[in-house]
Amino acid sequence: MDEQITRALYLGGCLMILVLALTSFFTAYHDYQAYASHVRHYTGSQGVAKEEAYAEKDSFMTGQDVTSLILARRRADRERFLGGLYGESADPEPGEYPKLMVDGMSYRDVRIEGIEPDSLFQSHIIFDPYGRPVRVEIEGR
């Protein structure tokens, strides 16, 4: 008699856990569908997940920001080069950084002495379909 009661309790517990799991799955699925329909309604498109959200972006930078960006990129290149000489480095490969162009020249060729800290620059960032920046073009105004 005790074995049958224990078996019935275990079976009842398993059924309750199964019902709870299915209920939580369908509740989460319903919340996901509501979110997806809200996003689709908000953006006005059908294939939100496959669509490129940001193809390019424009912003403004000061000369001090441009100089800091150029110096940081040069420092990263130098550290990657030295890491390659003395051992393996954990930095990204050269192709993983976006191309950086300042007034039509590569950041390597730009003389930072000629950049005034208070001047205003316009940056144009181009993204790939995966949302990673591919090219950054900075032009003086």
Residues 24 and 89 in one domain: no
**pLDDT above 50: residue 107:** yes
Q: pLDDT tens digits for 8-62? A: 999 999 999 999 999 999 999 988 888 888 777 766 655 544 444 444 567 888 8
Q: What does the alpha-carbon distance between residue 132 and residue 46 come to, in Å, rounded to a whole number?
A: 23
Instruction: Tell me the backbone φ, ψ of residue 107, rounded to 5 degrees.
Output: -65, -20
Residues 111 and 125 in one domain: yes
Residues 97 and 39 in one domain: no
Which of 15, 30, 51 terminates a domain? The answer is 51
What's the pLDDT at 117?
Answer: 86
Residues 60 and 2 in one domain: no
Residues 43 and 76 in one domain: no
Quote the mean pLDDT of the chain: 81
Which of 51, 69, 89 terminates a domain? The answer is 51
Mean pLDDT score, 69-81: 87
SS (H, E, C) 26-63: HHHHHHHHHHHHHHHHHHCCCCCCCCCCCCEEEEEEEH
Check residues 100 and 48 and name the one with the higher pLDDT: 100
- Token look-up 């316009």 returns 122
Residues 36 and 90 in one domain: no
Instruction: Tell me the backbone φ, ψ of residue 63, rounded to 5 degrees.
Output: -65, -35
Residues 47 and 61 in one domain: no
Residues 60 and 120 in one domain: yes
Residues 98 and 113 in one domain: yes
Residues 89 and 122 in one domain: yes
Mean pLDDT score, 114-124: 89
Residues 5 and 40 in one domain: yes
Structural domain boundaries enclosing 23: 1-51
Number of domains the chain contains: 2
Residues 132 and 68 in one domain: yes
Tell me which H or E stretch contains 120: strand 120-127
